Amino acid sequence: MSYCINPDCPKPKNPPTVNQCQACGSPLLLRDRYRMIRALGRGGFGATFLARDEVLPGKPPCVIKQLCPSTEAPQVLDMARDLFQREAKILGKIGNHPQLPRLLDYFEIEQEFFLVQEFINGATLQQEVKRGGPFTEAGVKQFLSEILPMVQFLHESHVIHRDIKPANIIRRQQDKKLVLIDFGAVKDKVSPVLANSSEQTALTAYAIGTPGYAPPEQMAMRPVYASDIYALGVTCIYLLSGKAPKDLNYDPTTGEMLWQSKVHVSDHFAKVLQKMLEISVRHRYQGIEAIHRDLDLEPYLEGLAHNMAFPAQGVSPLNGHSGSHGSVPSPMSQLGSSHSGGSPSSRMAAAIRARRERASSQSGPTGGHPRNGYSSLAGAQSAKMPHRIHPMTADDIKQKYTKGRRDFSLQTFKTLDLQRTFLEDINFNQSKLPNANFQGADLSKANFGRANLSRTSFRNAKLVRAYFNYANLEGADMRGADLQYACLSNANLRGANLCGADLSGALVSDDQLALARTNWSTVLPSGRRSIP
């Protein structure tokens, strides 16, 4: 089909071979090269189209963005031209990143501006949530692990995106990588806007971002790098809850989004999200590295509390370097603010132990910790002398799960028999589970990141949206398992049996699958059957 881009055309759809619109007479071959196929979106100042480049062999698809101001006022046209040139400049500067769309062409025709970009085939995260429901905490952490390096690349290139949201993030079909699109609101430096009120209003209409995702300073035309971090935080809330910002309540006094009751996440991740969503720029994360640091810390919290009664002075357990982690305190460093002496490691460990002691005391002098099941620390000597923890059995896990516990990370288990057990949202991150039996179990949204699962049986198990990043699944029996939208990135699948498994939408590479056993009944991430 040939699509007419004249906004006043009564019938824009035309046969695929004609070069002139049959309804309004407008040319259908833009610049004698690009044939529009269909409209992807339309707004007050322009539209976006899927097109084909008829000059190149194979007529490859591309995306053409048309910026068409609705007024001929000279100041608005000047600002539109400036915005157009700015976006082209930014796309040209950052276009060599593999997860950002490349700029292919740009031009102006009769006061209309056109950008030609690489076409990204795939579904947006907004579409994923609408089709498959909200993400788990593990799924959102995987999202952050992919998107944060992209945003850091932009910021290091002195670019603020200003319109990060689920609809602008596509999971590319060919490799399942996330791609950040729509740079129409980009800003290539951090500086105040100096303009009179009329110009300010006109510019706001072009490049303010999306209400609800844009923080207050951006709405006031004073964006900073941390503005993108706020938008990422709102995107995380959408992925976790399936609710757009307009569907959430706000504190009428502070303007803060009230999201806590709509999601189910760990206390630590909630603190990370809270800091991403701070209304005050001063209290928000200032850079991507600080978010990485806090997210990387989480799996080690319990280990730090147990093993760091007397840590080496001046050495961090996370990176082996001495000194401070930076001028912006992380949620974990704030936990230890009352412990002013010693190295950052010792202060962190003391803060973690103090938190556990407080939680243990609330459950009684001899009761277990309400979240991790460990014995309470009684007296000063208990903090200096680690106590033995007996490995849990399958019955222990079932009992604790029934009582509300979900975190079983960083532990070593002997052979477990948990077949046909309901264990949705359970966390076995970095645990050792060789030869475990999960046959027929419901492990939807489970976290097996970096876990040892060699020769474990997941036969006919439900593993929808389960997280296996860097897990060892060598020799695992996964026949008939439901692995739809599971994350298997970097997992060791050597010798794993995936015959009859459903991997629709899963994150797994062809190289990984080549190491596993598949057959004609294996459903690949594309939704097609495997060809053995």
Give the residue numbers marked as catalytic: 163
Q: What angle do CA 216, 224, 241 make, to 5 degrees?
A: 55
> To 10 degrees, the CA torsion angle through 368, 370, 373, 374?
-60
Lookup: tokens for 490 = 């970097």
- Angstrom CA distances, 379 to 301, 340, 384, 495, stand at 21, 22, 10, 50
Using CA atoms, how far apart are residues 289 and 166, in angstroms rounded to an integer? 22
Helix segments in 157-243, DSSP class H = 197-207, 216-219, 225-241
- Angstrom CA distances, 331 to 119, 219, 367, 431, 470, stand at 40, 27, 28, 25, 26
Q: 153 with 94: CB under 8 angstroms?
A: yes
CA distance from start to end of the chain: 37
| DSSP calls for 286-300 | -SHHHHHHHHHHGGG
H or E element at residue 354: helix 344-362
- Short-list 442, 392, 394, CA closest to 416: 394
| Residue owning tokens 């008939």 | 480
490 conformational bin, left if phi > 0, alpha if psi -120 to 50, beta if neither: left
Using CA atoms, how far apart are residues 345 and 324, in angstroms rounded to an integer? 10
Lookup: tokens for 229 = 């971090």
Which 8-state DSSP code applies to residue 368? B
Q: 227 with 160: CB under 8 angstroms?
A: yes
Burial degree of 114 (CB within 10 A; 0-12, 13-18, 19+): buried
Lookup: tokens for 325 = 């982690």
Q: 67 with 45: CB under 8 angstroms?
A: yes
SS3 at position 128: helix
